[in-house]
Every structure is written in C-alpha cells, then in structure tokens.
Chains A and B, each alone.
Chain A
Amino acid sequence: MTDTIELLDKLIADLKKSGGVESCAAVSRDGLLIRSSMQKEQLAESFAAMSATMLGAAETASTELGKGVPNRVIVESTMGRLIAVGAGPKALLVVIVSPETGLGLILLELDKAANKLKELLE
C-alpha cells in the first residue's frame, strides 16, 4: 500500500531526471492524477484530465478506423513537446520535454517507465 506509493514516487522522480523532461505525470485512464512532478504543480489536475482525454480520443479514433491502438500521442509546439503513452488498462504516462530534446532517448525512457507503471498497478 504505502510501498506502491513509494515506488510510484520513485518512478516519477526517475522519469523527471531524464534529459529534457520538464514535467511528468502518471494519470488514470479516466483522468485522475495519480502522481506528478510538474513545473506548475497547481495545474497538475487539469493537465491530467486533458492528457487522459487526448490519449483516449486518439485511441478511439485510431481503433475505430481500423488502425489499431496507437503507441503514443505526440503534441509538438515551438515551446516543446507533450508525449502521452498508455501504461496498461488503468493508467497513462505524460511528459513535457523542452524543444531541443531528442525524441529517441525520451521515447525509450517513457516506454520503459510505462511498462513499470503498468506492472505497479496490476
């Protein structure tokens, strides 16, 4: 119980340490914030709700069109990127990275963390 919470905090802290990550959050599929490390902590809850809706909408659109479950949603802007990945049936992980961050490494880290989160919540 308290162990799960501790492990979650570690997972989020580790992800936050990855190069270029400005904010990250573990979010339930239905939009509740599980744990986060955000630059603007007071926005964490609404950020969580938005991210879950975004990924959910993308997954529905893609599967309905017969293109399967998407691996991730990437939102690009000149100020940086927002990346959301599913982490099993209960949760997803979202990060915000700075614009100069290379995609390759962070995607790898994110997938690894998503796998861990999935296992943690099983």
Chain B
Amino acid sequence: MIETGIPKLDEFLGGGIPKGKSLVYYIQPGVEGEVFGLQTIYNSLKKGDTGVFVVSSTIPDIIKGQFRDFGWDISKFKDKFFFVDAYDSLIGAPSNEKYVVPNPDNIEAFSKIIISAIKELPPSTIVFGSLSTIIDLCGEKETMQAVMTWNKMAKIYDHVLVYNFTAWPYSEESLKAIKEDMFNAVISVGGIAERVIFGQYFGILKADWTTEIKKSMLFRVLRPGGIKLYIPKILVTGPFDSGKSTFVHALSTRAISVDRLGTTIALDHGHVDYKGFSADIFGTPGQERFDPIIKLLSGESMGVFLIVDSTNPTDFIRAKQMLEITKSYGLPFVIIANKQDLPGALTPEEIREQFDLSHDVPIVPVIAKDKKGVYEAFEVLIDKITGGL
C-alpha cells in the first residue's frame, strides 16, 4: 500500500493505493490538477519508497522546480527517485536522467523504456506527469494499448502506477475507457460553480479494491504546501461574551476582529491551516441588536461552532435561538463548552442535559483563553463535515 498524500483521499481509498494497482487523476481542462501526481510521488518518496516520474510536457528541471515551489525537497531522495525524460529528445536537447525516451512520439520506443524501468526497479511508485501529452504525441489507440500493457506488468512487478490525465476532447470511447475500464481507480478533479462558491474539487469515481466513498472535497493549491482541503466558511456563533472572538483567534493562524468596547460589532474573521485543511472562519457578534449582521454572515456555512459559556446556563436559550437565526440546524455543528477553567463550569454532559441535546451532537470542553481543546474541536467538526470516517 502506498499513500497518495492528498488529505482525506487515502482515507476514502481505504488507506491508499495497494501495490500492483493503477490510478488515474482524471482532470478537467483548466483545473490545477497536475499537482496531484507530484504530491503523490513526493509522499511515497517521503515514506521511503522508490519513485519514478515520467516527464512528457516539459524539461525535467522545470518539474524539479515545481517540487521546490511546493516546498518539497527531492534532493535527499537522489538514489531512490528517477526521471523518465520523454521531452528533451523532442527538442534535441541532451538529458542527464537515468531513463531517456529517444523518440517520445513513438509509442514502441516509449514503451520499451517504461517496461525496462518496470523490470529493473524494486516495487516503486511510477507517476506519469501527463498521459494526455503522450496521447497527443503517440495517438489515442496506440497509447491506450501501451497503458494497458504497463498496468498489467505493474501488477506482476508490484509497482503502483499513477497517471495525470487532462480530459481534453478526445474521442468519446477513449474518455469512457479511461473513466471506466483501464485503471483500478479513477479520481476526478474538476471545477465547480455552485451558487457563489467557485472552486476546485476532487472525488472518487472508482476504486476497485475498496467500497469507494463518493464524497467530493473542495481543494486549493498552495505554494508552498500543495493540495489543501478547502472549507470556505465555518461559522462561530453563540451568546454574548461566551468567547467566540477568543475562540476564533485561538484556532486561527491569523485572525482579525471588529470589536468595540470589548464586544464584537461586525465579525471575527480567521484563517486556519491545520492537518491538510485550509478553512476560513467567520465569528458573529453575540448581542441581539446585531441579529441582522448575524443573519447576513451565516449563509453558506459548511459547519458551525456554537460557543457557550459553561458557567452561564441562562444563556442556553439564546444559544438555541442563535442556531435558528443562523439556520444551523441540518448543518454539521459542534457545541463548545467554553471557560472550563472557571469554578462552577458545567461539564459537557451536564450541558447536554440542560440543553436537551441528543447524543450525536458533540460537545467539546474548551478553554479558549488558553487555546485548550480548540484543535480537538476543529477535528471533530471537520470529521462531521467530511463525512466522519
């Protein structure tokens, strides 16, 4: 088993890609998809595997530069990481790589080099930087035939084959074969325009070694950093003075608040980078006179933190009301039992009783002031948002 290193994807795939299997990243044109192959090979190098990267669309040095841009130092894997250079010969340039395809527009020449790498190397992760470029140079039918041979050989030699494929308008039957038949797993990478969220997502179309999880995740590509799952809005709401602003700042890598005279009059906004996630956090005011702003800010949340002051049960009515104002029912939400450091703070179970909440609503004890429990709470909410695995 190798891991793709794409956050959540390994979980969705039942741990990663088993040896001998092939996977294609099926990328809509115009979407930043090539990074998927890069991140996968970097991750398996990091885990101690041997890696091969097949370069078709540019010189190997540019690809090496891309690794650097993502902050991934590949120089330390020199004796375990090899390039198949299928580009330099096209432009008549010399190559320093271990494997060089002399005629990258001839599938037999191409296949010969791939097959010798497959035979010579110990079980490796072999990533094709651009299957579409190979198709463009060698022809659809010819390339597909070769890919099937490579995939079959990889099974015998225990390699994992990973392909980046950009779904240009090739023939219907080729696209269908790629999507359905030729690979053990297909990850679709595309763009969405849903209401006002314009972004990029990936999801599993197929994975024949596991009951695949048909969940799509939004992502962003950061340099450095690579693929991060993206959550455009997490709402932090709750009664006056319960610690919403403190919570947003405790959780965020950077945050700002519009507070006057000690209370939030507009919003808190923070950005969280944590365990492969990139999320924007919106904190609301708490006082009733700002209810119009609370309503305004709460649209399009993907999840909600409801912050309560554990020493102040009289506030719980307002807390429930705020869940209604923000239309949070039906969204994943987590209750933050804040100010656990104060004497008289109710325990999460006492709060559950007072609130009359069912057992599937998580209540996390937190001391926002000391940043205690905030990341635990974040993980609980993320699990609910991503389908809780």
Count of chain A residues near B, Cβ 8 A: 26
- Give A35-73 interface residues, CB cut-off 8 Å to B: 35, 45-46, 49-50, 52-54, 56-57, 60
Contact between A49 and B269, CB atoms less than 8 A apart? yes
Contact between A50 and B266, CB atoms less than 8 A apart? yes
Closest B residue to A57 by CB, please name it.
B293
Please report the C-alpha to C-alpha distance between residue A57 and residue B292 in the assembled complex, in whole angstroms.
Answer: 8
* Interface class of chain A by DSSP: helix
Closest A residue to B191 by CB, please name it.
A2
A-B contact count (CB 8 A): 81
Interface residue A34 (Cβ < 8 Å from any Cβ of B)? yes
Contact between A32 and B196, CB atoms less than 8 A apart? yes
Residues 271-313 of chain B, each 1 if its beta carbon lies under 8 Å from chain A, else 0: 1000000001010000000001100111110000000000000
Interface residue B233 (Cβ < 8 Å from any Cβ of A)? yes
Of the candidates B191, B232, B256, B271, which one forms a contact with A5 in the assembled complex, judged by CB atoms under 8 Å apart? B191
Residues 230-259 of chain B, each 1 if its beta carbon lies under 8 Å from chain A, else 0: 001100000000000000000000001010
Contact between A53 and B297, CB atoms less than 8 A apart? yes
Please report the C-alpha to C-alpha distance between residue A59 and residue B192 in the assembled complex, in whole angstroms.
Answer: 30
Of the candidates B191, B269, B280, B298, which one forms a contact with A50 in the assembled complex, judged by CB atoms under 8 Å apart? B269
Interface residue B54 (Cβ < 8 Å from any Cβ of A)? no
Please report the C-alpha to C-alpha distance between residue A56 and residue B256 in the assembled complex, in whole angstroms.
Answer: 19
Interface residue B267 (Cβ < 8 Å from any Cβ of A)? yes
Contact between B196 and A49, CB atoms less than 8 A apart? no
Of the candidates B258, B266, B292, B297, which one forms a contact with A30 in the assembled complex, judged by CB atoms under 8 Å apart? B297
Interface, chain B (partner A; CB < 8 A)? 28-30, 191-193, 195-198, 232-233, 256, 258, 266-267, 269, 271, 280, 282, 292-293, 296-300
